[in-house]
Amino acid sequence: MSSPSRTAASRTARSLAAALAGDPFYRTVTVACGDDAAARLAMLETYFALALAEGEQAGRVDLADAAGNGAAIWTTDTPPAVRQAAYAQREAALRDLLGERGFAHFTAIVENMEHALAPHGLQDAWYLSIAGIAPAAQGQGLGASVLAPGLAAVDAAGAACFLETYNERSLPFYARLGFVVAGRYAEAVTGCDYWLMVRPPRAA
């Protein structure tokens, strides 16, 4: 697992912002930016910097490369109290960052997704919360390689893992890594469907 320096973390946050700016979730929580693409990227860079910090505190962060071209951020088997404290710290910062309407969207989407997730019994599973590669660096195998260390750690722990994606085109990519579609859900705030994908436990 990588521990990015402040400079590397800043580059990585910019890469994640560029990679995910068009995602329905991130477009909806950055509603305060309107149609200002530059403002949205700037807001998302801060958003992902906060997510990277949370991952370092209470999960796992793997960097795509030394140039900061992307990352994978996991929620792991860290003790619940540690995870909750890190999440609360990020949530307080997001309230200021996203503004009243954006934060309300964030909270509502998270609640909707948690409600859909509840019947699947994944309380002890690892969660791939964020994964992205800078657009200019895509197509070079970085997506699979950045996920490999986390998946190896999942397997070593004998755990299941899961992710949620609004990008239907990413389903075959994740399927090649062992994830299977466990559900497709209509999310009311974004107005878009997303897919829950689960990777069952396997031997290390």
Cα end-to-end distance, the chain, whole Å: 17
| Residue pLDDT tens, the chain, 204 long | 545 566 677 899 999 999 999 999 999 999 999 999 999 999 999 999 999 999 999 999 999 999 999 999 999 999 999 999 999 999 999 999 999 999 999 999 999 999 999 999 999 999 999 999 999 999 999 999 999 999 999 999 999 999 999 999 999 999 999 999 999 999 999 999 999 999 999 865
Residue type, 165: T
Q: Which of 90, 66, 54 shows the shortest CA–CA distance to 12?
A: 66
Q: CA separation (Å) from 135 to 38, 124, 156?
A: 16, 33, 31
Q: Quick one: pLDDT at residue 202?
A: 86
Q: Quick one: pLDDT at residue 9?
A: 78
Q: CA separation (Å) from 104 to 88, 95, 150, 202?
A: 15, 9, 31, 38
The pTM for the full model equals: 0.94
